[in-house]
């Protein structure tokens, strides 16, 4: 059984100010949704932590979910995108560099389904 794929994206050396800006992160998620032809089924949820804290976001998709967690104090962005249908990966590196100024981006892909 094929249950899709999951991408784990670790973006480092990001601009801290952009990691505190939910609008910036919302645009990044919107680009991913559009490029992959995903379907958002509920209003996105965003939580901005006080002071110098980061942002956590979740988009519920008909295909599964997209989660975002930022750590501005470390210049780090974590993305988790799970799709129940296989599709070609977008250029996560270019998207993260453009959106949050990432200096390094690591991508891991997991095939999902019973072992």
Residues serving a catalytic function are 64, 69, 84
Mapped onto helix, strand or coil, the DSSP state of residue 16 is helix
Rounded to an integer, what distance in angstroms lies between the CA atom of residue 56 and that of residue 20? 10
Query: Which tokens go with 101?
Result: 């100024």
84 contacts: CB under 8 Å, gap ≥ 6: 3, 4, 63, 64, 112
Q: Residue 2: exposed, middle, or buried by beta-carbon count in 10 A (0-12, 13-18, 19+)?
A: exposed
């Amino acid at each position: 059984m094929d249950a899709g794929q999951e991408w784990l994206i670790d973006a480092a050396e990001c601009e801290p100010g952009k990691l505190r800006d939910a609008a910036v992160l919302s645009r990044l998620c919107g680009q991913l949704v559009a490029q992959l032809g995903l379907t958002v089924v509920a209003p996105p949820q965003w939580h901005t932590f006080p002071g110098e804290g980061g942002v956590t976001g979740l988009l519920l998709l008909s295909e599964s979910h997209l989660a975002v967690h930022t750590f501005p104090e470390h210049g780090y962005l974590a993305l988790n995108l799970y799709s129940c249908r296989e599709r070609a990966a977008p250029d996560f590196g270019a998207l993260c560099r453009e959106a949050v100024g990432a200096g390094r981006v690591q991508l891991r892909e997991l095939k999902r389904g019973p072992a």
